[in-house]
Chain A
Amino acid sequence: MSAIAIDKPPQASPPAAAPGLHALYQQSGIAEVLGQLDRELIGLAPVKGRIREVAAYLIVDKARRAQGLTSGPPSLHMCFTGNPGTGKTTVAQRMADILHRLGYIRKNHLVSVTRDDLVGQYIGHTAPKTRDVLKRAMGGVLFIDEAYYLYRPENERDYGQEAIEILLQVMENQRDDLVVILAGYQARMDVFFQSNPGMASRVAHHIGFPDYTAEELLQIARLMLTRMDYRLDDEALSAMRDYIEHRLRRPHFANARSIRNALDRARLRQAQRLFQNAMQAPDRRDEPELDALMRISAADIRASRLFQPDNRPDKDPAQIVVAPQVAPRAPTSNR
Chain B
Amino acid sequence: MRVTQGTFSFLPELSDQEIHAQCEYAIRRGWALAVEYTDDPHPRNSYWEMWGLPMFDLKDGAGALLEINDCRKTFPSHYIKVNAFDATQGFETVRMSFIVNRPPEEPGFMLRRQEGAGRTIRYTTHAYATNKPAGERY
A256 within 8 A of B: no
Q: Once the chains bind, are B66 and A140 in contact (CB under 8 Å)?
A: no
Q: Once the chains bind, are A134 and B66 in contact (CB under 8 Å)?
A: yes
Expressed in whole angstroms, the Cα–Cα distance for A139 and B61 within the complex equals: 8
**Chain B residue nearest in CB terms to A106:** B60
Q: Once the chains bind, are B57 and A138 in contact (CB under 8 Å)?
A: no
Q: Once the chains bind, are B57 and A136 in contact (CB under 8 Å)?
A: yes
Expressed in whole angstroms, the Cα–Cα distance for A107 and B57 within the complex equals: 14
B8 to chain A, nearest CB (A): 23
B3 within 8 A of A: no
Q: A107-163: which residues lie under 8 A (CB-CB) from chain B?
A: 107, 109, 128, 131, 134-140
B63 within 8 A of A: yes
Q: Once the chains bind, are B59 and A109 in contact (CB under 8 Å)?
A: yes
B58 within 8 A of A: yes
Q: Once the chains bind, are B66 and A131 in contact (CB under 8 Å)?
A: yes
**Chain B residue nearest in CB terms to A140:** B59
Contact of B60 among A128, A131, A138 (CB under 8 A): A138
**Chain A residue nearest in CB terms to B55:** A135
Give chain A residues whose Cβ lies under 8 Å from the Cβ of B66: 131, 134-135, 138, 170, 174
A216 within 8 A of B: no
B125 to chain A, nearest CB (A): 37
B62 within 8 A of A: yes
- Scoring A136, A170, A174, A178 by chain B CB atoms within 10 A of each residue's CB, the highest score goes to A136
Expressed in whole angstroms, the Cα–Cα distance for A174 and B59 within the complex equals: 16
Q: Once the chains bind, are B62 and A136 in contact (CB under 8 Å)?
A: no
B33 to chain A, nearest CB (A): 10
Q: B33-68: which residues lie under 8 A (CB-CB) from chain A?
A: 52, 55, 57-64, 66-67
A75 to chain B, nearest CB (A): 16
A177 within 8 A of B: yes
Give chain A residues whose Cβ lies under 8 Å from the Cβ of B52: 128
Expressed in whole angstroms, the Cα–Cα distance for A297 and B59 within the complex equals: 47
Give chain B residues whose Cβ lies under 8 Å from the Cβ of A135: 55, 58, 63-64, 66-67
Expressed in whole angstroms, the Cα–Cα distance for A135 and B64 within the complex equals: 7
Give chain B residues whose Cβ lies under 8 Å from the Cβ of A170: 66
**Chain A residue nearest in CB terms to B56:** A136
Q: Once the chains bind, are A177 and B62 in contact (CB under 8 Å)?
A: yes
Give chain B residues whose Cβ lies under 8 Å from the Cβ of A139: 59-63
Expressed in whole angstroms, the Cα–Cα distance for A55 and B60 within the complex equals: 23
A99 to chain B, nearest CB (A): 13
A138 to chain B, nearest CB (A): 4
**Chain B residue nearest in CB terms to A177:** B62
Q: A280-294: which residues lie under 8 A (CB-CB) from chain B?
A: none
Q: Once the chains bind, are A174 and B62 in contact (CB under 8 Å)?
A: yes
Q: Chain A 10-29 against B: per-residue CB contact (8 Å), 1 yes, 0 no?
A: 00000000000000000000
Expressed in whole angstroms, the Cα–Cα distance for A19 and B55 within the complex equals: 41
Expressed in whole angstroms, the Cα–Cα distance for A136 and B32 within the complex equals: 12
**Chain A residue nearest in CB terms to B57:** A136
Give chain A residues whose Cβ lies under 8 Å from the Cβ of B63: 134-139
Expressed in whole angstroms, the Cα–Cα distance for A135 and B59 within the complex equals: 9
Q: Once the chains bind, are B59 and A178 in contact (CB under 8 Å)?
A: no
- Scoring A128, A135, A136, A174 by chain B CB atoms within 10 A of each residue's CB, the highest score goes to A135
Q: Chain A 160-171 against B: per-residue CB contact (8 Å), 1 yes, 0 no?
A: 000000000010
Give chain A residues whose Cβ lies under 8 Å from the Cβ of B60: 106-107, 138-140, 177
**Chain B residue nearest in CB terms to A136:** B57
A281 to chain B, nearest CB (A): 55
B68 to chain A, nearest CB (A): 11
Give chain A residues whose Cβ lies under 8 Å from the Cβ of B58: 135-136, 138
6 nearest A-B pairs in the assembled complex, by CB-CB distance: A139-B60, A135-B63, A138-B63, A177-B62, A138-B62, A138-B60
Known: A138-B61, A139-B59. 5 other contacts (CB 8 A): A107-B60, A135-B58, A135-B63, A136-B57, A136-B59
Task: Using CB atoms and an 8 Å cutoff, list the residues of chain B in contact with chain A.
Answer: 52, 55, 57-64, 66-67
Q: List 10 A-B contacts (CB under 8 A).
A: A128-B52, A134-B63, A135-B55, A135-B64, A137-B59, A138-B59, A138-B60, A138-B66, A174-B66, A177-B62
